[in-house]
Amino acid sequence: MIETVIRDYLKVRAPFAVLMETPAGGQAPPYAVIQKTGSGMVDGVVFQATLAIQSFGATLYEAAQTNELIKALMAGAVALPEVARVRLNSDYDYTDTASKKYRYQAVFNIIHY
């Protein structure tokens, strides 16, 4: 699964936790959560996936900084043998106003094997 490949790649490079889901008891920020939002196949040969990576921070500024680091690290993910292309689709402030958790979300389109 490409999301676990990306999680493992980010876990050794990011100075914060990189998770597949937020633990039930919570997680102290900063941290990032990876979610696959879609997938497909390109020309019957390689796979395509859309990953959303949410970056959480104790402040909006920390969430934005965490997001910037995720974007920089993801640019290097193309060096992985499973990954052919990484493209940032969009990133934006995605603060959860109900829970008052500061977060940004970066959406990546990935071509992989």
Longest dimension (CA), the chain: 44
Per CATH, which fold does 2-112 belong to? STM4215-like (3.30.2000)
CA atoms within a 13 Å half-sphere pointing along the CA-CB vector of 80? 23
Domain ranges of the chain: 2-112
Predicted pLDDT of residue 99: 84
For residue 24, the model assigns a pLDDT of: 82
Contacts of 105 (CB under 8 A, 6+ apart): 52, 53, 54, 55, 67, 91, 92, 94
At 33-74, the pLDDT tens digits run 999 999 999 888 899 999 999 999 999 999 999 999 999 999
Cis check: omega of the bond before 29, within 30 degrees of 0 = no
The verdict on pTM exceeding 0.75 is yes
Share of the chain above pLDDT 70, in %: 100
